[in-house]
Structure 1
Amino acid sequence: EFIASTDFFFRPVNTYTGPDGLLYIIDMNRGIIQESNWTRKGTFLRGKIDYFNIANVNQRGRIWRLVHDDFTPGPKPHMLDVPAADLVQYLDHPNGWWRDNAQKQLILLDDKAVVPALQDMATGRKNASALGRLHALWTLEGLNAIDKPVLLTALSDADPQMRKAAIWISERYLHQQDTGMITRVGQLANDANYDVKTQVLLSLGANKHPLAQQITQELLAKNPDNEMLKRVRFSLDRNEDAKKYGMKLGSFPAPERKLILAGSEIYKGMCSPCHGSDGMGLPTNAAPALKGAKHVNHDRDFAIRILLHGLKGPIEGKTYPSEMASMKDNSDEWIASVLSYIRYEFVGTSARGVKGRQSAVVQPEEVRKVREAYTSAREAWTIDELEKNILK
């Protein structure tokens, strides 16, 4: 902490480095900053607000410029008034404001005449810092003027952030299954820097080329304990699952997805003739609808007991021609699969307000615990019994 104020309404919310190299502080300069829910009449805060009359202090925002005694501010920029050729030099400026805005303006101007100068800077032919080379490389990418010679040089740059950026930008060639570029990027799987290794995995991990897959497998095998690489692999696998199974089902871990898919097949063959393929029941009213049914989506134990032991009697005041038969002769995994599919596919808002498919899956271990609680034979449940025993 290096700054304080005796002004009661000093509310600094952000800071920025300006083009002059000084620190700019955004001050909301307002009396009340709490949400209205916490400043209602009768609350402690409302009493203080009214006592000090601070509700009237608003719309007074300020910008402060903090100047160090020993620092001479830099010059005022005129980037909008100069040609693209004059902006290239600022990509290597010590102040990040100049680098960022010069890069943005160069891309907006889209003047390809500066490409040779940018190539010289990015490849080190022109003496520039690592930050300058990095800005030049990304500016070439933004101008759609990147080429293989520049990328190959950048892949060998002494700075790891340059190598990482070069891998990222090379994806335009990797997506074309360019074997030469895949080979060159793959060599960086042995880089000493883990940011570089991580980018190799990000750029090659989803590539279907056999060489790319071999490189990523070897990279993971050589770094089995690296958490970042493991998380990247996990994310890539999830993305592939989403493409294959859809965004909803693809978001589930593979074991849970397996249960849901198995349950889908069982439901279509055994359950849909009574409950309907869409879970809405049939015109014959052979069985109740499952879509949004609270007795299925409300509680896992509720649903497990119904499938294990059966259900008889009226359901929400309506009587059906036949009762739900016991399925206890099937395995724990079989019952978990059916319930997982039903709760996933026909999910609704439960009595407890729980929404969404992520809570849908029933694990075989949960079925086993309920089964063990009823080792002796019992008759089918009624809704009244279930609600009395489970719902509190």
Structure 2
Amino acid sequence: MYRGIVQERNWTKRGAFLRDRILEHGLDQVTGHGRIWRLVHKDFQPGPQPHMLGETPAQWVEHLAHPNGWWRDTAQRLLVLKGDKSVLPALREMATSHADPLARIHALWTIEGLGALDEKLALERLQNPLPQVRVQAIRASETILKTPGDHRELLNAIHALATDRDPNVVLQVVMTSKILNLPNWKQEARKIVATSNSSGVREIGEKLLTEAPSLAASNFTPQQRSSIERGHQIFSSVCFACHGSDGEGAPLSGSQDLRLAPPLKGSLTAVQGDSLLRVLLHGLTGPVDGKAYESEMISMGANPDSWIADIASYVRVSFGNKGAPVTTEEVARLRAASLDRGKPWSIAELRAAYPQVIADRSAWKLLASKNADRVALAIDNDPATRWSTGAEADPAAWIRIELPAAEKLAGLILEHEKSPRDFPGRVRVEVSTDGETWTPVVETSCARARNEIHFPEVIAGRFVRISRTAIAESNYWSIHELQLLHMSS
């Protein structure tokens, strides 16, 4: 700011409140003083004015030890931009032996900026007695670890610092392991966080392990994105304590095998129908998939419908789950319909009350209007393979499933996450007992990477036909995985 008045004229016209203040302080006279103002104490005595552009790289190296941070930062920037590697011996000496740790850190990063950081220097700095130097050595080592080659010695030295006496060093080990996605970094990080005596390591470490919602490549609406992000905050402050920051269940103290609560990652309860909402509203008791857990899921029903919808939406789209977000209206309807529920749910009740995926697809027979020779790829348990109509945008494409025996059919799931633009647009689902006479069940839009379609009512049938009724953006249609839902009882 270089003028006394920065308001628009409308706010400073005659009679305006600001007009008198401007005149009182003479702000209308403050012009022509350059772009930058500096406020200083009346007794402040400035140091010598820098003239770095007229100096040599060797002189810039000396400034890396200057007590003023602007001098150090500017000298480092100029050295990296200049790219003069003749100063590397002086930089290495400063990085290893200078009395000021800030000078050592600036010298280390200047060497890194010049592309001259090697494992020998990095290993030496990892053993420095000052924790702030060890932290920066770990960070600078990331540049080396990103390059091809055998870096086992450097990795082992970094892993050894996971038990460092300084919490900042420990946290940097976790952060570097995460940003580089090192092998088994999550398992190692969980051990570090669970066994640390530092509250800082435990608190911040849990945040680092908590999975952020993946929204970038998704076709969520702005409202859904906001809900999922709020759910992330709820999970990070409440749910992680039992379910673990990575959704795999928090380990019991002293054990990596026993968990406080069931994993949410890959959970059928999390993604199928309204099971997750029922658990949030009323709680869950008893074993889950045959395994007992120390913590029982208590009811969260005292929270508003919007809170329930937010956390459910986050869980359904995080940890690799492929469910759909939940609306506040859905929660309100289920809450009203289950007012008489006075006890927690059990997994057996939820499974019996809601359609389940038909697990065995080995005896299914499939036909398709296009590329029938590849249609089996839609049920091969490999999300990387697919059946597709091909390059042609065929609005009348269809796929037919024949089951080995009649089932109580309740819905289906179409996945094409690996081909995100290949959604069908709109489909009609029909069911038959003999493959000749077809009963229309539902017609709906399919514009997501994972489309879970529920039938209005359970219908017995042995054949299912899915027909495309409207295309979207002239795309062709791919199915990476096709599943049917049935009532098991």
Report the TM-score when normalising by structure 2.
0.43
1:116 has 2:89 as partner: yes
Other structure's SS at 2:173 match? helix
Identity of aligned residues (%): 28
Counterpart CA distance in 1 for 2:114 and 2:196 is: 36
- Alignment partner, residue 427 of structure 2: none
Deviation at 1:112, TM superposition (A): 0.8
Report how many aligned residue pairs link the two structures.
260
Q: Could you tell me how far apart the structure 1 residues matched to 2:160 and 2:140 are?
A: 16
| Cα distance between partner residues in 2 of 1:180 and 1:243 | 37
Asked if the contact 1:205/1:233 (under 8 Å) is kept, the reply is: no
How far is 1:113 from its partner? 0.9
Aligned to 1:30: 4
Matches of residues 127-166 of structure 1 in structure 2 within 5 Å? Answer: 127-166=98-137
CA shift in 2, pair 1:64/1:185, >3 Å: closer
Asked if 1:242 is matched to 2:227, the reply is no
Q: Contact between 2:167 and 2:200, CA under 8 Å: does it hold in 1?
A: no
Given the alignment of the two structures, is residue 76 of structure 1 paired with residue 42 of structure 2, yes or no?
no
State the match for 1:168 in structure 2. Answer: 139
Q: Report how far residue 142 of structure 1 moved.
A: 1.0
Residues 68-107 of structure 1 aligned to structure 2 (within 5 Å): 73-107=46-80
Q: Which amino acid aligns with 2:118?
A: D
Match of 1:370 among 336, 342, 364: 336
> C-alpha displacement at 1:109, in angstroms?
0.8
> What is the identity, as a one-letter code, of the residue corresponding to 2:335?
K
CA distance in 2, matches of 1:237, 1:226: 17
Q: Compare the two structures and name the one with the higher helix fraction.
A: 1
Counterpart Cα distance in 2 of 1:87 and 1:173: 25
Match of 2:177 among 187, 204, 227: 204
CA distance in 1, matches of 2:219, 2:125: 36
Q: In structure 2, what is the equivalent of residue 185 of structure 1? A: 158
1:369/1:67 CA distance change after superposition, 3 Å: closer
Alpha-carbon shift at residue 136 of structure 1 (Å): 0.2
* Contact 1:155-1:167 at 8 Å conserved across structures: yes
Cα 1:105/1:260, change in 2 over 3 Å:
same
> What letter corresponds to residue 116 of structure 2 in structure 1?
A
Q: Distance in 1 between matches of 2:177 and 2:62?
A: 34
Structure 1 residue 367 displacement after superposition: 4.4
Contact 1:30 1:61 (C-alpha < 8 Å) held by counterparts: no
Shift of 1:107: 0.8
Deviations 1:43-94 (A, max 9, x none): 97357459869784564656357477595x5333221122212221111112
Give 5+ residue unaligned stretches, structure 1.
Answer: 1-26, 265-299, 304-331, 342-356, 376-392
Q: Is the 8 A contact 2:122 2:137 kept in 1?
A: yes
* Whole-angstrom distance in 1 between the partners of 2:95 and 2:64: 10
**CA positional deviation for 1:205:** 2.8
Correspondence list, 1:279-318, <5 A: none
Instruction: Give SS of 2:105's match.
Output: helix
Counterpart contact for 2:105–2:133, Cα < 8 Å:
yes
Change (3 A) 1:57 1:190: same
- The alignment's C-alpha RMSD in Å is 4.7
Distance 1:229 1:219 in 2: 8
**Structure 1 CA distance for aligned equivalents of residues 217 and 197 of structure 2:** 28
TM-superposition CA deviations, 1:328-374 (whole Å, max 9, x none): xxxx99xx88xx99xxxxxxxxxxxxxxx99x544986444312469
| Aligned residue type for 1:371 | A
Which residue of the partner structure matches residue 326 of structure 1?
A: none
- Length-normalised TM-score, structure 1: 0.52
